[in-house]
Structure 1
């Protein structure tokens, strides 16, 4: 995908939710390999070839957690783009989805170690630094339209517009 002449990889992120003991939880995972290794992230990844965003989300959730979702179980949660001026090959445009996880327990994959977190106890310090700018709105059920520009160190946030 190209925006204003700049290339972006198309990816999906899927946030799975469940209720446990009256508390709402979200499934996140410690990234074991690839982009973001060592960070706590949402399930997701690249859209392959002519695959739809919904199809990619269903596939990625299954690959990374063993949880099988039907396409109609996913809810559109918006869009977000990340620009890495110091590393343009990392630029990404993501389709965001949410879904109820059901009762299937997540299983670790080679890429992700999934874990349930209470929505009021998100491990912000283990995540990308942009996460607090937009994830709280997603957790509140709001539709996301965000544009994040990362600092030259590819860690900090130079600017964040979240509508």
Structure 2
């Protein structure tokens, strides 16, 4: 079995821990400590200090090697070994990076486990208590991973479509429609209306929504199902929000180079009001496989 060696550093102070939101690459959109692959000729301590500096602008004066997490994936010959460190002594000012942004202090009681790797809540408690540990985590194939459901809406009017420039979180620094995760006890249409309002200040009535299709995303963590809507009727004054910066684009000149790589395969169908379903598989933030099918009638919602 092939081994890959990684480091992960947690900066702590009394009852607080510093985490970064992964802005790109493996684990994008998830909160975690600071780390990455150990480079050739580099010790794990050197790698840990380098990654912490690159991702948070902090320099560790000392590191405590607290534990090791071993990851195995079904039908994958690669085993990942993650050396976990903690430190209370750092030099520098906390600053986000291209890799991790934002970087934020969390009270122990407020750690966002729902937006972290599924195994985090199994071994993070040892990190919080400065307790030495060993952990083995085995992931099964993608098809059996948890599924989460999202909405996405494209507002179109007079030959233009409204896109938002993502300012934080999953998809940061990319253009996209407006949407997000469907909340507990919320249906699909309520979710898309809420997300559009929160991100743009625009209001669309249910009767003015057109459901066009579903896009399924698979990665090593879980499956995301996204329900795609359009509308040409709305109320309210368009505003920039903490999440999205709005801009109208000509339907014939969309910024595909600054959108998710899969957008070029299905957004044109949205522009042309074509029913469809699509599936995309990403590995390490790279599009690995996909399928797109045009439909003659409205696809079923599986939520």
TM-score scaled by length of structure 2: 0.48
Count of matched residue pairs: 152
Matched residue, 2:206: 71
Matched residue, 1:15: 154
Matched residue, 1:144: 276
**CA deviation string 1:87-134 (max 9, x = no partner):** x14x31011111114474421111000111111010011101111011
Provide structure 2 residue ranges, at least 5 long, that are not aligned to the other structure.
Answer: 1-141, 294-303
Partner SS state of residue 45, structure 1 = strand
Provide structure 1 residue ranges, at least 5 long, that are not aligned to the other structure.
Answer: none
Relative contact order, higher structure (CA 8 A, sep 6+): 1
Q: Please give the alpha-carbon distance, in whole angstroms, between the structure 2 residues aligned to 1:97 and 1:82.
A: 17
Q: Please give the alpha-carbon distance, in whole angstroms, between the structure 1 residues aligned to 2:237 and 2:161.
A: 13
Deviation at 1:144, TM superposition (A): 1.9
Partner SS state of residue 196, structure 2 = helix
Q: Who wins on radius of gyration, i.e. which is larger?
A: 2
Residue 62 of structure 1 is aligned with which of 174, 181, 197? 197
Partner SS state of residue 257, structure 2 = helix
Q: Does 1:27 align with 2:162?
A: yes
After superposition, where does 1:39-58 map in structure 2 within 5 Å? 39-58=174-193
Q: Does 1:123 align with 2:255?
A: yes
Deviation at 1:160, TM superposition (A): 1.4
Deviation at 1:7, TM superposition (A): 1.6
Check conservation: 2:163, 2:246, Cα contact below 8 A: yes
Q: Please give the alpha-carbon distance, in whole angstroms, between the structure 2 residues aligned to 1:102 and 1:70.
A: 7
Check conservation: 1:67, 1:101, Cα contact below 8 A: no
